[in-house]
Amino acid sequence: MNRQTANTRMPLNIPEAGFNTKLNVTANNIEHTTAFMQKGVVDFSLPGYTTPHGYRLVKARTEDHYRLVTDSPDPVTVYAVRLEFMDNIVPGRRSCTQIMVWRSVQPQYTSAVTGLPRMFFQYFLESHSIVVSDSEQTSDGRRFWEGMIAWAIQADGYHVYVSDGTEEERPLTFMTSWDDFYGTWTDFCWGDDRDCHSHRLLVISKDQLH
């Protein structure tokens, strides 16, 4: 196994991500958003989501990068998510991971972003079949993944696994229940040991993987 590759794939606990600082400060957000828009975007329709008046939901032309922005002369990003695709996690299958997820906590945007992270996650799962956890997660990222695991375990047609990159063949272990996940796997997957936790990830799939 390529250990360098593994180290960039698993949920190591980290402090707040750098893009959080960029997008939380209004002037930086406007600059960041303007640069993103100038690279080229197209309007995007997310199943189940009606873009509110005064906003645009857009996708970058050249990458899988989506944003909800204010429809104003100086647009502000209120939600952002970007995908990365991998072929080395599940043998013979392509999977995706959300490598940047951010939402504004400003109250004027609450109604626009409520439910949006979950809708995007479910859209990616429907579109790409397999979604895996990213390499490093803030506490908010961990809570979001815990919520999606709870949903996937209870919903019909979804399967949750742990992928252990500390083992040579990267075995997948199926989670049988929420108690199985929370009692057995949370501390196994999340933690502060880069040599250990950075090699483990969580997998939600529409298909049975073994």
Q: What is the pLDDT along the chain (210 residues), one digit of tens a residue?
A: 333 333 334 454 434 456 677 888 899 999 999 999 999 999 999 999 999 999 999 999 999 999 999 999 999 999 999 999 988 788 788 999 988 889 999 999 999 999 999 999 999 999 999 999 876 667 788 888 899 999 999 999 999 998 876 666 777 889 889 999 888 888 777 777 666 555 678 899 999 887
In this prediction, residue 9 carries a pLDDT of 41
Q: What is the pTM of this model?
A: 0.84
Q: Name the residue ranges covered by the structural domains of the chain.
A: 3-205
- In the structure encoding, which two tokens stand for residue 50, read together? 């009606």
In this prediction, residue 178 carries a pLDDT of 93
